[in-house]
Structure 1
Amino acid sequence: MGKLPDYIGISAFGIKMGVIIPGSDVVNMVYEALQKLESDGLLDDGDTICVTESIVARAQNNYVTVKDIADQVTNKLNLKKDSKIGVVFPILSRNRFSLILKGLAKAVPQGEVVVQLSHPSDEVGNQILPYDFAENIGKTNGEIITCQDLGNNRYKHPITKVDYISLYEEIIKEQGAQANIFLCNSPSKITEFKLDGIVVSSVHNRQRVLTKIKETNQNSITLQELCNEGDCSSEWGLLGSNISAGDKLKLAPKAADEVARLIQEKVIKDINKKVEVIIYGDGAYCDPTTGIYELADPKPTFGMTDGLKGKYREGVKYKYLVDQLYSEGADLDNIEKTLQAKSKDFDKYSIEAEGTTPRKTEDLIASLADLVSGSADAGTPVIVVKGFLNGRIN
C-alpha cells in the first residue's frame, strides 16, 4: 500500500485503534496510529485528522453522576427537596436525556417535576405526535396538549418504538417526585405553573428559550450551566453528554482545542507533516426518511486547530458552467481550461457560484467524519480526511 493516486479526490477513511480508557494518553495513541499511516505513505500535508470527542472525554475521565447533577441544580436554583422544578423542551432520547432527567428529579424527591415538550417533534426531529394531531383536536400552537388529550394509545417514536412520555414519567416517579408532562410550543407557557426554578433543556435554541422564560421567571438556567466547573466538567455543561455505565454520564471533552493543538504539534515535530486536527461529535445530518436531525451535540466540532477556524468552503458551480459554455459552442478543451481558471478566481456572489452556499469547513469535515465513523462498532475513532483542504477554502 502506498500514496493514493492523484485521480482520487476528497476521501475519508477510518483508523482502527486500541481501546481508550480513563487515563489513556489519547494524544500519543492518535500519534502512533498516524505513524502507521506515514510508514505506508498515506499521510500528507493538508490532511485533516478527525478524532471523535468520546475517546477524548473518556481519556480525561470526564464523567459525572446523577447525584452530581442533583447537587448542581439544587445549588444553582436554590431548590429544596419539596420544590417544584420545570424542565422545558428536552430532546427525546434515552442516551442523551434520561439520566439528566433522573438527576433533576433526584433534586426534588418530595416535590414535582413539570416537563414541557415541543410537538410534533423535539428540536432534532424525534417525533412525539402525528404531524396533524394538534390540528385535528383543535389546538393552536400556543395551547397545551395534555396527556389526557393524547389518550391511552400514545404515539411511539418511529424508530425506537419508545413512548417517551411514559418513560420520562417513570424516571421522575422513581426518584419520588410527582410528574406533570404536557406539550406546548410556546416556551413561556411553563412559567404559568408557579415553579421554584426552570431548566431550559433544549440544545440549539437554548438561549432564545431562556430569554423568553426570563421575562417572567428569573430563576432559570440552561443545561450548559450544569456541570461546567470543577475537575469533571465541560464548558458545554451537560450539553453533548452521553449515558455511560450505571448512573454516570460522559460529558463533552474539556479544552478540546488544546488537545487538537497537541496532536498537530506532535505530528509536525516527529513526522514533519502539516495536518489540521478536529475533535468532532455529531455530524449535522438530517435523515431524509425519518426527518431526524442527528446533531444532538451543541455543534459538530468541539475543538480544532487554528488553520480551520473561520474558514468556509465555497466554489463555482461546475454543472452550470459546463452547460453554459457548451451552449455557447465551446469545445471540451476550452471548457476544461475555463473551469480550471474559474476555480481559482471567481466572484462568490456571481451566478457562477449560485447553489454553492459557503459553509463552515469545520462543520462539513466533522459531518463527513461522523458519517464514516458512525456510532456503533466500526472501531475507528480517528478519521483521516484527504483532499478537502485542497479545494476552495477561504
Structure 2
Amino acid sequence: MSRMVGTVSRGIRTPIIRSGDDLVEIVTSSLLEAAEEDGFAIRDRDIVAMTEAIVARAQGNYATVDQIAADVRSELGGETVGVIFPILSRNRFAICLRGIAKGCSKIVLMLSYPSDEVGNHLVSIDALDAKGVDPYKDVLTLEKYRELFGYEKHPFTGVDYVAYYQELIQDCGAEVEIIFANDPRAILPYTKHVLCCDIHTRQRTKRLLREAGAVSVYGLDDILIHSVNGSGYNEKYGLLGSNKATEEQVKLFPRDCQGLVEAIQKRLLEKTGKHVEVMVYGDGAFKDPVGKIWELADPVVSPAYTAGLEGTPNELKLKYLADNDFADLSGEALKEAIKDRIHKKDGDLVGQMVSEGTTPRRLTDLIGSLCDLTSGSGDKGTPVVFIQGYFDNYTTE
C-alpha cells in the first residue's frame, strides 16, 4: 500500500540553552529521545533544524548598549548622524537605537512611510491618499506629520513608534530631529554621516548615498563586525538580525554556524546510520495578509545548512497534469500515468509549463518558514524542529 502521510513537522523540546552549551550533543540527544518517546523512526533525507536564537545563546554572542555605542562613535565620529529606515520594533531595534544614540551627540531619524521595510505601518496608504501626500517624493517634518496624521498607534502593539523612538533617543542624552521620507538621499541636507538601518535594501541605500556625496555611510551590518571591548560580533551581518536580550543587551545573529550543522549531521549518521540534513533558521519569509507584516526581519532565513538543502524545488504540478496531459484518464490509470511522469521528469523543470505554479523559492527559505511556524516565538519550548517527508512525492512508497 502507498504511504498515506506526506510531510510531517515536529517541534522537539530541549533543555533551556545557555552560553557554552554543547549544541551537537543537545540537539542529537533531544531528537533521539523524542523519536523513542513518540515512536517515530529517523530516515534518510529527514531534516533537523534549530532556531538561530539557541545557536547565538550557546555561542554567547551578545553585545551591550555601551559596546554598540563605542563602535558607532568610532565609525561615525560621534557627532550628528542620520539614522535612516529602521524597522519599528521594540524587540529588533529599540536596544540597538539606545546604543546608537549613546554614540552620537545628535540623531536625525528618518523613517520610511507609510510603513517600515517589513510592513509595520505608521499610517495607512489610504490616509496618504486622503491627505494628498506622495510617499515617493514628499519629505515630511515631524510637525507636518503630526499635523496630517496625529498620533497613530501600531494596531498590534499599541505603540506610537515615532514618540517612542524620539523619547528613547532623548533619554540617552542625544538631541533628535525626525523626518519622514523614502528616498535615502533626503537625509543629506541634514548630515553627511549616515547609518542605514534597512535590511534587504541596504546595499542599494548605501550606493545611492555614496553616489550623492555622503561622507561616511555605514549599515547595521557594519557595526559590531568584530569584538568591541569584549562584545560578541558577527563579521558578516553585524547588528542585523539582533534581538533584545535585556534592557542593556542584544543577542546578535549567530556566526560560524556551518561547522555546527555539519557536526550534527555527522553525529546523527554515527548514531542512526541515516543521512539527515541540518540547518539553522531564523525568521520565516512570508507576509501576513491582515497585519501586512513581512516576517523576515533577519538578513537571511538560514545562515547555515548542509549541502542537501541547496537549491530550489523541482516539482511537477499534479493538477496541471490531471487537467491537461491526462484529462481523459481517471482512477488507477490516472494515478499510474502521473507516477510514470514523475519518474521521468527532467532534472531541471525551470520554464516548463508542467511546473508552472510550483513555488519558485529556495529550499532553505521554504523549510525555514515551516520551521518558524512550527516552533513559534513564544513559550512552546521547541527550538529544534524535525521534518520528515519533505522530499517525498506522489511516487514515494
Output the TM-score relative to the length of structure 1: 0.92
RMSD: 1.7
Offset, 1:159:
1.1
Partner of 1:143: 138
How far does the alpha carbon of each residue in 1:147-205 deviate from its partner, in whole angstroms, 9 at most, with x for none?
A: 2223273221121111000000011100111111111111111112134x211000111
**Rounded Cα–Cα distance in structure 2 between residues aligned with 1:388 and 1:179:** 50
Aligned partner of 1:189 in structure 2 is 186
1:26 and 2:27 are equivalent in the alignment: no
In the other structure, the counterpart of 1:205 is 201
Q: Is the 8 A contact 1:322 1:335 kept in 2?
A: yes
1:334 & 1:248 partners in 2: Cα distance? Answer: 63
Q: State the partner residue of 1:339.
A: 338
Match of 2:261 in 1: 260
Provide the residue aligned with 2:82 in structure 1. 86
| Alignment match, 2:175 | 178
Check whether the contact 1:85–1:198 (CA below 8 A) recurs between aligned residues: yes
Secondary structure of the corresponding residue to residue 165 of structure 2 = helix
Residues of 1 paired with 2:58 and 2:143: CA distance? Answer: 46
**Cα distance in 2 between the residues matched to 1:134 and 1:145:** 12
**Compared with structure 1, are the counterparts of its residues 122 and 114 closer, same or farther at alpha carbon in structure 2 (3 Å cutoff)?**
same
- What SS does structure 2 have at the residue aligned with 1:192? coil
Q: What CA distance in whole angstroms lies between the structure 2 residues aligned with 1:41 and 1:164?
A: 47
Once the two structures are TM-superposed, the CA of residue 325 in structure 1 deviates from its matched residue by 4.7
- 1:129 is aligned to 2:126: no
1:69-80 equivalences in 2 (<5 Å): 69-77=68-76, 79-80=77-78
1:296 equivalent to 2:290? Answer: no
AA of the residue aligned to 2:344 = D
SS in 1 for 2:391: helix
Q: How many percent of aligned residue pairs carry the same amino acid?
A: 36
The answer to whether the Cα contact below 8 Å between 2:6 and 2:392 also exists between their aligned partners in 1 is no
Q: Give the deviation of 1:391 after TM superposition.
A: 4.5
Q: Which residue of 2 aligns with 1:113?
A: 107
The residue matched to 1:277 in structure 2 has which SS?
A: strand
- Return closer, same or farther for 1:88/1:342 CA change in 2, 3 Å cut-off: same
* Counterpart AA for 1:144: V
Please name the residue that 2:247 is paired with.
246
Partner amino acid, structure 1, of 2:48: I
Verify the 8 A CA contact 1:203 1:296 in the aligned structure 2: yes
Query: Partner amino acid for 1:25?
Result: D
Tell me, in whole angstroms, the C-alpha distance in 1 between the residues paired with 2:186 and 2:393: 48
- Deviation (angstroms), 1:144: 0.8
- In 2, Cα distance between equivalents of 1:27 and 1:57: 14
1:308 maps to 309
Structure 1 counterpart of 2:358: 356
Q: 1:386 aligns with which of 379, 388, 391?
A: 388
Structure 2 unaligned spans of 5+: none
State the alpha-carbon separation in 2 of the partners of residues 168 and 42 from structure 1. Answer: 50
Shift of 1:345: 2.9
> Does the aligned pair in 1 maintain the 2:13–2:381 contact within 8 Å?
yes
The 2-side partners of 1:37 and 1:44 are apart by 14
Give me the whole-angstrom Cα distance separating, in 1, the residues matched to 2:342 and 2:188.
Answer: 54
Deviation string for 1:283-307 (max 9, x for gaps)?
Answer: 0121111110011001111111122
How many angstroms does 1:138 deviate by?
3.1
User: Partner residue of 2:33?
Assistant: 36
Over residues 354-392 of structure 1, what are the superposed CA-to-partner deviations in whole Å (9 max), with x where a residue is unaligned? 111432111111100000000000100000011112349
Aligned length: 380
Superposed displacement of residue 326, structure 1: 5.6
Q: Cα distance, 1:254 vs. partner? A: 1.2
Report what 1:324 is aligned to: 324
**Pairing 1:220-235 to 2, within 5 Å after superposition:** 220-230=217-227, 232-234=232-234, 235=236
Tell me the amino acid that sits aligned with residue 143 of structure 1: D
Does structure 1 conserve the Cα–Cα contact (< 8 Å) formed by 2:42 and 2:272?
no
What TM-score do you get using the length of structure 2 for normalisation? 0.92
Structure 1: how far apart are the matches of 2:344 and 2:189?
57
Q: Distance in 2 between matches of 1:359 and 1:137?
A: 38
SS for the counterpart of 2:179 is: strand
